[in-house]
Chain A
Amino acid sequence: MAVVVYLESQKGVVKKTGLEVTSYGRALAENLGVPLIGVGFNLSETKALDSYGINILYNINTSEDLYFNVERYGTTLAGIVTKEKGSIVVVSSSADGRYLGPYVAAKLQAAYLSNVVALPSQYSPLKVERSCFTNKAFNETVSQKDCTILSLASNAYGLKEKHGAVKVRSEVYAEGSNSLKVTAVDLATDKVSIADADIVVSGGRGLKGPENWHLIEDLATVLGAATACSKPVSDMGWRPHSEHVGQTGKPVASNLYIAIGVSGAIQHLAGINASKVKVVINNDPEAPFFKAADYGIVGDAFEVVPKLIEKLKARKY
């Protein structure tokens, strides 16, 4: 038996999401008394993993695949899980993690559970808590299979270090077909993505127009945050829909979520419910967001936000 974690990486370096699933997988492996196996693809830097207690690291060189490739990664990962007799596989809730999880589950005829928010309450059979109804509820779900793929909700477990030497196995694999060809990857390199951000600053209709978005962007810059927006704002074309947060948009599970001029429609609140601390700035004290927030300021965003930016700039160093 073993616990297997997928080490998501970018440009050869394991991402925070990869370290979080490793932290979670470590706890599972300890509770079960089995080894923790990490599987990464084309990793150039594995030193950081020494702090997370992986017993065996498979660093797979897929040579020609520069980008994530679900067929090859999924087939290879499934092969390692079979070889190592993995009973639990953990992937993240990133776009690639959610792509890979069901694929590997189907390959292994295993169960798949997304949005897992806590350690299992029981191991045989495996029982975990997951969020559903876009964070409006949770459910306790029991796997009916011997092998289960868990997709861990972002920021649900956090990073927990555990030192120990890693045994690295570098292998070259080229398993799986390759029916999808990636022709280009367009990453906004100068911005923090909503999925990777510790802090998200979000703007709503209260900002009156796209020409005022410098308030959101300046605040995000000083905080090292990602920018987001409400559904009406993306529907009106003020901001790209990739920034739309909510039930039909992106979920946000950041440590801090700052909503400016967002009234707080139920669909928006569902989408951000997994964020740890929520702050609202709105001139309408009746805005529903005040019921969902931890901290709030009733006031004009055009006065409050510039002051907040000034104070934060002054505070920094």
Chain B
Amino acid sequence: MNILVCISPVPDTTSKINFKDGNTAFETQGIQFIINPNDEFGLTRAIHLQQKIGAQVTVVTVGDASCESILRKCLAIGADRAIRVDLQPQDGFQVATQLAALCKKSSYDIIITGRESIDYNGGMVGGVLAVQLEMPYVPNCVHLELNGNEVILQREIDGGKESLSAQLPILIGAQKGLVEEKDLIIPNMRGIMQARQKPLEVVMPIEVAPATEVEKYEKPPEKEAVKLVDAEDIDGLIDLLTNEAKVL
């Protein structure tokens, strides 16, 4: 059983977002990068399967050398090996196409991406990769169990859940619920030491142009100050919401 988990390094969720070069690029100075939370839920599920059925877990990222510390963290969490595709990608289409080229060289039974990365929120890598690899794909995945070659899955839909079954191989878009927050693995000293010895392979990218190009970033306009209503004046609040905001 081979599992590939696709990892995106993203700014820590508490980060203040700023831009540079005339608002054309994200300012990474002073930003702490973390494993994209959706990817981390997926990685954790993969490690559970590794422990339960002896699956081999490979992590991959498409990015420059600065991404290697995130890959080492994945190895410390328990992944067996890491791959970095040496390209600073411009959009999700490029990422998916690089990953597809890589996947075609190996044989993975389960491929896990995050539902979306919390930085660019493209939400497309899993879907595009699935079509390029002609694999069934389940995004917003909150449950994955194996029964021989059969995969039992659940997908979160608007207002509920959908249960699905498929045959391996499968590609999923992970999110919270696939494992719980408390299941996330904090690397211990032994894991960190072992991670240094685990293989981290750098592969050359294939030629592929991005499908989109970001021209400019902007931050939302400054908000006006909150209008405070006295705790005794509930009618005042209802009046504001009805007549001023027109939302009731």
A-side residues, CB < 8 A to B, are 67-68, 70-71, 94-96, 98-99, 101-103, 105-107, 110-115, 127, 131-145, 151, 179-188, 191-196, 198-199, 223, 235, 241-242, 244, 247-249, 255-256, 266-267, 273, 276-277, 279-280, 290-300, 303-304, 307-308, 311-312, 315
Query: CA A192 – CA B160 in complex, angstroms?
Result: 10
Query: CA A94 – CA B248 in complex, angstroms?
Result: 24
Interface of A, helix, strand, loop or mixed by DSSP: mixed
Please indicate the chain B residues that have their CB under 8 angstroms from the CB of A138 in the complex: 217-220
Q: Mark B204-216, 1 if CB is under 8 A from A, else 0.
A: 0000011111111
Query: CA A185 – CA B131 in complex, angstroms?
Result: 24
A14 CB to closest chain B CB (Å) equals: 14
Question: Are the CB atoms of B231 and A106 closer together than 8 Å?
Answer: no
Question: Are the CB atoms of A112 and B217 closer together than 8 Å?
Answer: no
* Residue from B19, B175, B215, B231 within 8 A of A304 (CB atoms): B231
Which chain B residue has the least Cβ–Cβ distance from A94?
B158
Question: Are the CB atoms of B231 and A300 closer together than 8 Å?
Answer: yes
Q: Is B119 an interface residue (CB 8 A)?
A: yes
Residue of A110, A113, A136, A244 with most partner-chain B CB within 10 A: A136
Question: Are the CB atoms of A136 and B219 closer together than 8 Å?
Answer: yes
Please indicate the chain B residues that have their CB under 8 angstroms from the CB of A193 in the complex: 158-160
Please indicate the chain A residues that have their CB under 8 angstroms from the CB of B241 in the complex: 256, 277, 279, 295
Q: Is B126 an interface residue (CB 8 A)?
A: yes
Question: Are the CB atoms of B118 and A295 closer together than 8 Å?
Answer: no
Which chain B residue has the least Cβ–Cβ distance from A17?
B158
Query: CA A181 – CA B210 in complex, angstroms?
Result: 33
Which chain A residue has the least Cβ–Cβ distance from B230?
A297
Question: Are the CB atoms of A296 and B228 closer together than 8 Å?
Answer: yes
11 A-B Cβ contacts within 8 A?
A95-B155, A95-B156, A105-B127, A110-B211, A112-B211, A133-B121, A194-B158, A248-B118, A276-B245, A294-B226, A311-B238
Question: Are the CB atoms of B159 and A188 closer together than 8 Å?
Answer: yes
Please indicate the chain B residues that have their CB under 8 angstroms from the CB of A188 in the complex: 159-160
B-side residues, CB < 8 A to A, are 11, 13-14, 17, 19, 37-38, 92-93, 96, 116, 118-128, 130-132, 136-140, 155-167, 175-177, 180-182, 209-220, 223-224, 226-231, 234-235, 237-238, 240-241, 245, 247-248
Question: Are the CB atoms of A98 and B139 closer together than 8 Å?
Answer: yes
Known: A106-B132, A195-B159, A295-B240. A114 touches B121 (CB 8 A): yes
Query: CA A312 – CA B38 in complex, angstroms?
Result: 39
B207 CB to closest chain A CB (Å) equals: 15
A81 CB to closest chain B CB (Å) equals: 14
Please indicate the chain B residues that have their CB under 8 angstroms from the CB of A67 in the complex: 162
Query: CA A305 – CA B184 in complex, angstroms?
Result: 36
Please indicate the chain B residues that have their CB under 8 angstroms from the CB of A103 in the complex: 127, 130-131, 137
Query: CA A231 – CA B44 in complex, angstroms?
Result: 19
Question: Are the CB atoms of A247 and B13 closer together than 8 Å?
Answer: yes
Query: CA A222 – CA B126 in complex, angstroms?
Result: 40
Query: CA A130 – CA B230 in complex, angstroms?
Result: 37
Question: Are the CB atoms of A112 and B124 closer together than 8 Å?
Answer: yes
Please indicate the chain B residues that have their CB under 8 angstroms from the CB of A106 in the complex: 96, 127-128, 130-132
Question: Are the CB atoms of A96 and B157 closer together than 8 Å?
Answer: yes
Please indicate the chain B residues that have their CB under 8 angstroms from the CB of A279 in the complex: 237, 241
Question: Are the CB atoms of B165 and A241 closer together than 8 Å?
Answer: no
* Residue from B119, B155, B163, B234 within 8 A of A308 (CB atoms): B234
Please indicate the chain B residues that have their CB under 8 angstroms from the CB of A105 in the complex: 93, 124, 127-128, 211
Please indicate the chain A residues that have their CB under 8 angstroms from the CB of B37 in the complex: 247-248
Question: Are the CB atoms of A187 and B211 closer together than 8 Å?
Answer: no
Please indicate the chain A residues that have their CB under 8 angstroms from the CB of B180 in the complex: 235, 241
* Residue from B38, B159, B219 within 8 A of A248 (CB atoms): B38
Which chain A residue has the least Cβ–Cβ distance from B119?
A133
A215 CB to closest chain B CB (Å) equals: 14
Please indicate the chain A residues that have their CB under 8 angstroms from the CB of B182 in the complex: 235
Which chain B residue has the least Cβ–Cβ distance from A258?
B241
* Residue from A107, A114, A181, A294 within 8 A of B245 (CB atoms): A294
Which chain A residue has the least Cβ–Cβ distance from B238?
A311
Known: A95-B158, A195-B158, A291-B223. A144 touches B213 (CB 8 A): yes
Query: CA A139 – CA B19 in complex, angstroms?
Result: 11
Question: Are the CB atoms of A191 and B13 closer together than 8 Å?
Answer: no
Question: Are the CB atoms of B128 and A102 closer together than 8 Å?
Answer: yes
